[in-house]
Amino acid sequence: MFLKDITNKPVFANGCLQGVCRGVGISLKTYAVKYLLCASTPTQSATDFAVGVSAIESVQNEIRLSRLRVVYPKSCAKIFIGAPVYSFEGGYLGKVADLQIRDFVATSLVTDQGERFSVASLYACSDAVILKKEQPYPLGQRIPAPMLSLVECKKEAVVTKPVLRAAIRQKALINLTLSLPPFNAEL
């Protein structure tokens, strides 16, 4: 699914039109889509309310909710089609054209310039999207839970240089690397 697939669709709850979806709120830790950001009327561009994605019953020509429980979106990045995208240094990279979503987890951001960025590169999002500086692969990625026991640095939750050195000492570097995206191998 893509953000374009749900943007500007009417939102229904209990058979009544409640508003129009304008964007999504995602967690910057897990990249899970947590909220639908909605406007009360189709002509309104600003959002009035948010609903949790757990309330979504179906997404077809409209978005059907099992219940309407308005929530306050907290600790989330707000993504809207047309929001400007900037690099960490301040360079303009285009506008948000789409956001790829798999099983309600955001995977990549697409600009109108045709560039695709991993959601792991999101630094801040609200009225504009700011991307992090690119780090050398795989520094900064979360270590999958099954690999934590193989790596000596158990207090670390992300890949750092000491974690890579420990993996080399334990002859587990290849297993660690293959367990990280984009490989995601379960060893």
pTM: 0.71
Q: What is the residue type of 53?
A: V
Six token digits for residue 98: 């789409």
* HSE value, Cβ hemisphere, 13 Å, CA-based, for 183: 15
- Tens of pLDDT along 17-75? 999 999 999 988 888 999 999 999 888 888 889 999 989 998 889 999 988 888 888 88
